[in-house]
Amino acid sequence: MKKFLIMLALAMISLMLYAEETQQKERFYFFYSDSCPHCHEAMPLIESLEKEFPNIDFQKLEVSQSPENSAIFNKKMEKLSTHASGVPTFVFRDKYVVGFIKGTYEEKIRAMITASAEKPAAALPDKTDKSKQVKTPAQPEKTPKKTAPVPAK
């Protein structure tokens, strides 16, 4: 019994450390369907991006067979203020790309990651804790007021 408790405690500590490490990584979401040929063409790109960006947690979520993954997909699209329009869909921070054409989209997806990586992650709101989110109103553009010309006397 004592060995079991020690093993259980070690397993829990390992799980907590793994969870902490995973939470520190930003997440890139790849939503796909097993029946989508474009998704299959995109898979090698995702695998190379995983190697190229080891500090990013790449989540590959099949949406046609999994109601849980489909719900995550819909929630992500809602947060991005867009409609779920199909797969493959790539999401990183506040950017997304829908669709994939081999030889065309690779740089677009890579640029989405590198452009977002230039912004510090701390500047983005913490999506996991709603109490930490700060909403700021959009600042209106300052344009000079047009005034009617004064007639000459």
The pLDDT of residue 16: 56
CATH architecture of 22-118: 3-Layer(aba) Sandwich (3.40)
Give me the residue spans of the domains in the chain. Answer: 22-118
In this structure, is the dihedral angle defined by the CA atoms of residues 19, 97, 42 and 115, taken in order, positive or negative?
A: negative
pTM: 0.63
Q: What angle do CA 74, 138, 28 make, to 5 degrees?
A: 35
Q: 72-121, pLDDT tens digit by residue?
A: 999 999 999 998 789 999 999 999 999 999 999 999 999 999 987 665 55
pLDDT band at 6 (very low <50, low <70, confident <90, very high): low
The pLDDT of residue 25: 87
Q: 14-53, pLDDT tens digit by residue?
A: 665 555 554 578 999 999 999 999 999 999 999 999 999 9
The pLDDT of residue 138: 37
Beta pairing, strands 56-62 & 26-32 = parallel
